[in-house]
């Protein structure tokens, strides 16, 4: 089999002598043919096509160092990009990282961040190929993830059709519940509440379900990063259809329900509008027999927008500029 290669410019991680410290903590994986240390990395691309996604995390906007350690932030930064690759039906192969950091950032925090990148990538068999680093007043992290489709067509947002069903794989509402507890300063003294706080700090996307959905014949898919209503709105707009959700179909996890009781909140609101769990939402033709990993939560009909109980919900999810 001919293994194709792609060369990616990843900057110079040698600044401040950090390259040696980082490189020694990053094991090589098969997809990374040439890793940190040169002007560019070289990644294998057996399919001949490369799926690419990128995200930016800013301290104080996407994470707080008094809430999350370096390891948590590394896992979270990698996860949200790897989930985007999986949502296209691809298998993640590698990431490259851009890092801005204060000069007084403790090296122990940097080491933990690097370990977080490494361990989250290891979940899917991917590697850290390299990146760039600079001085900055706050911690700023840019992650670009790459993936391989394995010969499959990519699953887009624009393939939903009337008569198809909407299904979700993974958890919903956990990260939002954890954030709400931290924001309220509520005591987190039980294992069940600690579970949702951990979900905010370190999401657990169902990576394998992305390629699985593609193999099953999903007509549209995305990861839930900004809230289910908000993200399914992108599917509805791209496909020219309406998505109707049945709230009775959603299984509210016990930790989410307990957190809602603690704060006097509606757990279904977190499920529908809370982001950062990076669950996968996909649309399937009605004849597809879905495995238990997928929960049907709605249907696609003619029209536009996203409705719950036949009504449009005004609060839809996260918007960076709202």
| Residue ranges covered by each domain of the chain | 5-148, 165-308
At residue 317, the pLDDT reads 53
User: In which residue are the tokens 């519940």 written?
Assistant: 177
The answer to the question of whether 54 is labelled as a binding residue is yes
At residue 227, the pLDDT reads 95
> 195-217 burial, b if ≥16 CB within 10 A, otherwise e?
bbbbbbbbbbbbbebbbbbbebe
The answer to the question of whether 15 is labelled as a binding residue is no
The answer to the question of whether 179 is labelled as a binding residue is no
The answer to the question of whether 130 is labelled as a binding residue is no
The answer to the question of whether 84 is labelled as a binding residue is yes
The answer to the question of whether 39 is labelled as a binding residue is yes
The answer to the question of whether 185 is labelled as a binding residue is no
Task: State the Cα–Cα distance between residues 232 and 297, nearest whole angstrom.
Answer: 12
The answer to the question of whether 200 is labelled as a binding residue is no
Give the pairing type, strands 165-169 and 40-44.
Answer: unpaired
Query: Along the 322 residues of the chain, how does pLDDT read in single tens digits?
Result: 345 666 555 454 445 455 556 656 666 676 888 877 778 888 888 888 999 999 999 999 899 999 999 999 999 999 999 999 999 999 999 999 999 999 999 999 999 999 999 999 999 999 998 888 899 999 999 999 999 999 999 999 999 999 999 999 999 999 999 999 999 999 999 999 999 999 999 999 999 999 999 999 999 999 999 999 999 999 999 999 999 999 899 989 999 999 999 999 999 999 999 989 999 999 999 999 999 999 999 999 999 999 998 777 755 554 443 4
The answer to the question of whether 104 is labelled as a binding residue is no
The answer to the question of whether 225 is labelled as a binding residue is yes
At residue 26, the pLDDT reads 65
The answer to the question of whether 132 is labelled as a binding residue is yes
The answer to the question of whether 67 is labelled as a binding residue is no
Task: State the Cα–Cα distance between residues 62 and 84, nearest whole angstrom.
Answer: 17
Task: State the Cα–Cα distance between residues 133 and 141, nearest whole angstrom.
Answer: 9
- Write down the CATH number for the domain with range 5-148: 3.30.1330.10
Cα distances (angstroms) measured from residue 77 to each of 56, 70, 121, 290: 8, 10, 10, 30
The answer to the question of whether 114 is labelled as a binding residue is no
Superfamily per CATH, domain 165-308: PurM-like C-terminal domain (3.90.650.10)
At residue 34, the pLDDT reads 83
The answer to the question of whether 93 is labelled as a binding residue is no
pTM summary value: 0.88
Please give the radius of gyration of the chain, using alpha carbons only, rounded to the nearest integer.
20
* CB distance 272 to 308 below 8 Å: yes
Cα distances (angstroms) measured from residue 267 to each of 64, 147, 187, 195: 24, 34, 18, 15
């Amino acid at each position: 089999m001919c293994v194709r290669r792609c060369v990616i410019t990843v900057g110079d991680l040698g600044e401040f002598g950090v390259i040696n410290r980082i490189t020694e903590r990053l094991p090589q994986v098969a997809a990374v043919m040439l890793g940190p240390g040169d002007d560019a990395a070289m990644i294998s691309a057996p399919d001949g096509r490369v799926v690419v996604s990128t995200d930016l995390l800013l301290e104080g906007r996407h994470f707080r160092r008094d809430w999350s350690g370096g390891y948590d932030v590394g896992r979270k930064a990698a996860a949200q990009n790897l989930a985007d690759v999986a949502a296209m039906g691809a298998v993640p192969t590698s990431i490259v990282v851009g890092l801005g950091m204060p000069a007084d950032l403790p090296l122990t925090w940097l080491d933990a961040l690097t370990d977080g990148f490494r361990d989250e990538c290891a979940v899917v068999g991917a590697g850290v190929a390299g990146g760039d680093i600079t001085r900055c007043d706050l911690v700023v992290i840019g992650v670009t993830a790459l993936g391989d489709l394995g010969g499959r067509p990519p699953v887009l947002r624009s393939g939903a059709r009337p008569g198809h069903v909407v299904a979700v794989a993974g958890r919903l509402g956990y990260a939002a519940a954890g954030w709400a507890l931290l924001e309220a300063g509520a005591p987190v003294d039980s294992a069940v509440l600690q579970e949702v706080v951990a979900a905010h700090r370190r999401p657990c996307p169902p990576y394998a379900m992305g390629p699985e959905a593609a193999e099953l014949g999903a007509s549209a898919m995305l990861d839930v990063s900004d809230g289910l209503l908000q993200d399914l709105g992108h599917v509805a707009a791209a496909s020219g259809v309406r998505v109707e959700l049945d709230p009775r179909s959603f299984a509210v996890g016990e930790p989410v329900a307990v957190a809602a009781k603690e704060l006097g909140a509606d757990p279904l609101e977190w499920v529908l509008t809370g982001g950062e769990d990076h669950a996968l939402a996909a649309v399937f033709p009605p004849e597809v027999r879905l495995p238990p990993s997928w929960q049907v939560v709605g249907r696609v009909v003619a029209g536009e927008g996203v409705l719950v109980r036949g009504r449009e919900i005004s609060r839809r999810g996260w918007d960076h500029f709202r």
